[in-house]
Amino acid sequence: MAYEEYLKDFLEISNITVGDTVKVTKPHIEHEGMLLEKPDYSNENTIILKLDSGYNIGIDIKDAKIEKISEGKKPQIELDPVDKKISDKKKNLSILSTGGTVASVIDYKTGAVHPAFTADDLLRATPELVDYANINAKAIFNILSENMTPEYWKKTATTIYDEINNGADGIIIAHGTDTMHYTASALSFMIDSPVPIVLTGAQRSSDRPSSDAFTNLMASVNAAKSDIAEVTICMHGTEDDSYCDLHRGTRARKMHTSRRDTFTSINMNPLARIENNKVTINDTQVKYTKRNEKELSLNTNLADKVALIKMYPGISPEIIDIYVDKNYDGIVIEGTGLGHCSDDVITSITRATSEDIPVVMTSQCLFGRTNMNVYSSGRRLLQNNVIGVGDMLPETAYTKLLWAAGQTDNVSEIYEIMKTNLKGEMDTTLSQNYFIKN
C-alpha cells in the first residue's frame, strides 16, 4: 500500500519516497533506516523503517521530523559470468542451495526477507570461494526452512548422492537456519558418505553489512575439503566473525532466535573449530568418520507419519489416542526429567504400544540422558514397551524414528535400530559431564 493523506503529505514535503534512507527525529529518540511501503495492517499515522539491524519498526509520526539521508536505489544485479577458475589441483565441491537467509534478498515493498538468490547468484556474491575449490553451485529448491518437509529431505539426499557419484569431493548445503538441525540429522541417517556433507546458513541476510553469510560459507568450504566425512552444521561460533564451529549433524540445535552463534552442540562439544581457513579437531579422543572410510549409499525410505509430542502438566492424554487412531507409524515423546510423563498419559501410551506403535522417550531437558529405571513412572513406561534413547536429542529421535520405521514394520527391529548408535547420535561417553551453564 502507498502512504496516504496526512502521511503522504508528511513524506512529500521532504521529497521522500519508499526506498530512501531517512532519519526520523522525535523528542528523546532518533531512528535511521530505509522507508518501506506501508503494510496493509499498519496504523494510518505510522511509517515503517527497516533499521540497519535488519529489523523493521513502525514509528508514529506525531511530533516527528523526517530528513532524507540518501536516495533509494534498486539493487543492481551483477550479470557478468563468474570465472570459476577450474583446476585439477583443487577439490570439487558442490554447493546446493535450498533457500533461507544465506540465499535471500530483502523485498523492498514489504521489508520482509524472501529466499531469492539462485546458487549461482550466491557464488557471484562470494567470488572468493573459487580460489579455494572448484565450485559447482546448484539451486535444488528455494523455500524458507520452516516449510521444509521429509519429502524435501529425500530430494536433498538424492541430489547429494548424485553429486558425490558424479565426483564431488565435498557437499555444502545452503539452508535456512530454523530447521537446519532437523535436516542435518535426517540426512545423517539417509546417507552413508565417503566425503563431508556440510550444512550452512546465515542469521543475517547477505544484503546486510552484518551478514554472517560469507564467513559461514568460507568456513563450510574448508569443512567440505576436510577429512570429516559426516553430515555437519557449520555456523558462527561467536557473535563476531572470529571462527566457526563444526557441529555433528545429529547433535546440534538452534538455541537462539537471532544470534549468529545460535547453533549449539548438545551433549558433546562441537567436532571442530574453523578459523583462518584451518579446521582444528576439538577433542582428538572423539571418533569421527573419516574421508573414504564409508562407501556411498542412499536409503531414503521414511515412514509416513511420526509424531513428536512434548509433555506438560495438564496435557490431555487423548492426544496420544488420536495419533493411535490415525495409524501413526511411531511416536517420540519429549518427556520431563529422566524421561517421564503423567500416569494418565502412560495409560494412553500403553494402548499405543499394545497396538504395535513404537513409542520412544526423550527428555525436554535436552542435556543429559533418559534413565527410566530411577522413578516408578519411568519403570512403568519400560514395562509397557516404551524405550528411552539416552542422550539423543528429541529432534534427532524424531528424524531417526521416521527413518527406522521406514526400514521395517517390526517394532522390535525398529527399537533395535533406535538403540543402535548409527551416526554419533547417542554416545554417553560424549555426554557424560557435558553441560553449559550461566
Active site residues: 101, 177-178, 254
Helices 318-325 and 343-354, interaxial angle, to 10°?
10
4-63: contacts with a second copy (CB under 8 A): 39-41, 54-56
96-155: contacts with a second copy (CB under 8 A): 107, 110-114, 144-150, 152-153
- Determine the 3-state secondary structure of 13 from DSSP: helix
Q: Which of 165, 374, 421, 428 binds a second copy (CB under 8 A)?
A: 374
Give me the phi and psi of 50, to 5 degrees please. Answer: -95, 115
One-letter amino acid at 238 equals T
366 lines the binding site for a second copy (CB under 8 A): yes
- Dihedral through CA 399, CA 402, CA 404, CA 406, nearest 10? -140
392-421: contacts with a second copy (CB under 8 A): 395, 398, 402
Cα atoms in the 13 Å half-sphere on the side-chain side of 194: 14
| Least distance between a second copy and beta carbon 373 (Å) | 5
156 lines the binding site for a second copy (CB under 8 A): no
Stretch that binds a second copy, among 26-34, 70-78, 166-174, 340-348 (CB under 8 A): 340-348
177 lines the binding site for a second copy (CB under 8 A): yes
Neighbours of 115 (CB within 10 A): 23
225-254: contacts with a second copy (CB under 8 A): 238, 254
Q: How far apart are CA 230 and CA 289, in angstroms?
A: 6
Closest CA to 372 of 360, 381, 364, 359: 381
Q: How far apart are CA 361 and CA 425, in angstroms?
A: 14
DSSP 77: P
Stretch that binds a second copy, among 1-9, 69-77, 129-137, 256-264 (CB under 8 A): 256-264
379 lines the binding site for a second copy (CB under 8 A): yes
Q: Which of 28, 62, 73, 437 binds a second copy (CB under 8 A)?
A: 437
Stretch that binds a second copy, among 1-9, 160-168, 175-183, 221-229 (CB under 8 A): 175-183
Taking only Cα atoms into account, the Rg of the chain, rounded to an integer number of angstroms, comes to 25
Q: Which of 17, 166, 280, 316 binds a second copy (CB under 8 A)?
A: 316
Q: Which of 84, 155, 259, 291 binds a second copy (CB under 8 A)?
A: 259
